[in-house]
Chains A and B, each alone.
Chain A
């Protein structure tokens, strides 16, 4: 996803003289193409995230489209007050690009994991949150973010994610996408967990369970209509997120389900109110914390069993 983002950023920098790119001393070599095609519009502010976001906002106030890039937690968490006041409150045309959303920087430990970014940013008025599911969608999301007027948080994985979306897939801000229908259970996934959700659906099919996959490439604005359509098919929903289960995607789905007026039963897969203390790669951590495909399969089984129990009672 990271390479896809930088491709799109360079293309935008070449085509639009208003686009600036700022970094907090991260992304070695990755801004080379941008600086070549957009000379004078790149700035490394140093290891100074508050200034990264503040200066990006200042540029935006002066009519620029300012992109601020860092490892996700340093962007949304270290500089949250600047994100809140200078960007969200001001409704500024700043694009916050966080790399390593979730536990992408697995081995580097919990300081480098973004497990509360969706919760922290979802509550900010004016903020749009884009959560691409594969590299092609990350590239499309970058272009969509730059074309959108106003604050955007673009949550990227790291790099080397598989391409899983069909060739005809089009990202539309605020719209979730059905990747497969399912009559028994809906697996709703956000961003980087899409390959996991698809693998879980395949495994469930092998076990005789018809699972649909609903992918949220945008967390906010939240597509409540797509969820309503899911509930019209089956009451059992499993949310899958590379994030705490509190306040992020599972939280958004829970809110929408409660307000939908339809019967529903939700099971959330994600970090169960814990930091990922274990040491390991992203894949190791996802498995260790129940977020690998088999963890999603198990969550679906639990959801279906509870649904049957409720109906029998």
Chain B
């Protein structure tokens, strides 16, 4: 079930707004990485992930594994939109001395499935969770989100190979393909295209989608497959902040207090568009 696009759009805007507020309050980096997944998280937390607050029998619902932990602020923001975290708390406590929300997520935080920050861990963790889901036979799914730069990690491909071999339909891998990584363009560091063909060769069901098209994301992420499903979301780093969109430096730049007005104005323009 995909909720009405208007509410998903509102959720996406709220996630972006909170990410910007967190970045302003903390003077922290990784804004670009958080903003590129804002729409994906809005769709996941807007209905694709079922029983987020647990099932009536007390068991957990669908799980989300954020493997690219440096986008933690987007995860905190998404959790705030579903009342698992408090929006004021996350802005006040993200990346602050004595705050409750680290720059990379910790499993002790409500709603956070795995501690991440060291890249390449999520797929194997999600595979283990999906094995448990398969044994339980309750139709629960585990969605793991990786960055495209993160695909440099060999451990990602170990897990991709095994999940394809095991044909785990309980597992969904979302690739945030924003095209940028630590020292430059993904295509210039280790070009993994054609990525869809690679994943398909590992026996995954593969779909490519505009990572900012909420309707398309909703349909694609909710679709079931008899095998593990990979969704390559083509995204824009820094999406929503027009003065840093699709730039290398959006990985490192922090927002200064003087950026506040134009940042919020840019988000408003995007919402109106």
Contacts and interface: CB of A to CB of B under 8 A. Distances in A.
B125 A46 contact: no
B1 to A, nearest CB: 24
A63 B60 CA distance: 11
A312 interface: no
B132 A64 contact: yes
Contacts of B115: 85-86, 89-90
A150 interface: no
B121 A62 contact: no
Nearest to B140: A62
Interface in B111-140: 113-118, 120-121, 123-133, 135-136
Nearest to B124: A54
Contacts of B161: 46, 48
B189 to A, nearest CB: 21
Contacts of B135: 40-41
B204 to A, nearest CB: 16
Contacts, number: 94
Q: Is the interface of A mostly helix, strand, loop or mixed?
A: helix
B155 interface: yes
B158 A82 contact: no
Contact of A58 (B116, B120, B129, B154): B129
B162 A90 contact: no
A50 B107 CA distance: 19
Contact of B128 (A48, A66, A81, A85): A66
Contacts of B123: 54
Contacts of A50: 120, 124, 154-155, 158
A48 B160 CA distance: 11
Contact of A46 (B107, B154, B162): B162
A54 B163 CA distance: 13
A55 B114 contact: no
Interface string A222-244: 00000000000000000000000
A51 interface: yes
Given A54-B121, A55-B125, A86 B114 contact: yes
A62 B132 contact: yes
A62 B128 contact: yes
> What bracket does the count of chain A residues touching chain B fall in?
20 to 34
A54 B128 contact: yes
A58 B162 contact: no
Interface string B138-167: 000000000000000011001101100000
Contact of B113 (A40, A61, A82, A89): A61
A144 interface: no
Contacts of B126: 58
Contact of A48 (B121, B129, B132, B158): B158
A123 to B, nearest CB: 17
Contacts of A53: 124
Nearest to A81: B118
A129 B133 CA distance: 30
Contact of B124 (A20, A51, A60): A51
A56 interface: yes
Given A46-B162, A48-B162, A50-B158, A61 B131 contact: no
A55 B155 contact: no
A254 interface: no
Nearest to A59: B128
Interface in A63-81: 63-64, 66, 81
A58 B133 CA distance: 11
B229 to A, nearest CB: 17
A43 interface: yes
Contacts of B158: 45-46, 48, 50-51
A57 B125 contact: yes
A274 B200 CA distance: 47
A56 B162 contact: no
Contact of B155 (A20, A41, A54, A90): A54
B60 to A, nearest CB: 8
Contacts of A54: 121, 123-125, 127-128, 155, 159
A53 B154 CA distance: 14
A62 B129 contact: yes
B131 A58 contact: yes
A272 to B, nearest CB: 33
Contacts of B107: 61, 89-90
Interface string A10-47: 00000000001000000000000000000011010110
Contacts of A56: 128
A48 B106 CA distance: 25
B87 to A, nearest CB: 26
B128 A57 contact: yes
Given A54-B155, A89-B115, A61 B129 contact: yes
Interface of B: 106-107, 113-118, 120-121, 123-133, 135-136, 154-155, 158-159, 161-162
Nearest 8 interchain pairs by C-beta: A58-B128, A54-B124, A62-B132, A55-B128, A50-B155, A48-B158, A58-B125, A58-B129
16 contacts: A41-B135, A45-B158, A45-B162, A51-B158, A54-B123, A55-B124, A57-B125, A58-B128, A61-B113, A64-B132, A66-B128, A81-B118, A85-B116, A86-B114, A86-B115, A90-B115
Given A50-B158, A60-B128, A85-B116, 8 more contacts: A46-B162, A51-B124, A51-B162, A54-B128, A58-B124, A59-B132, A62-B128, A90-B115
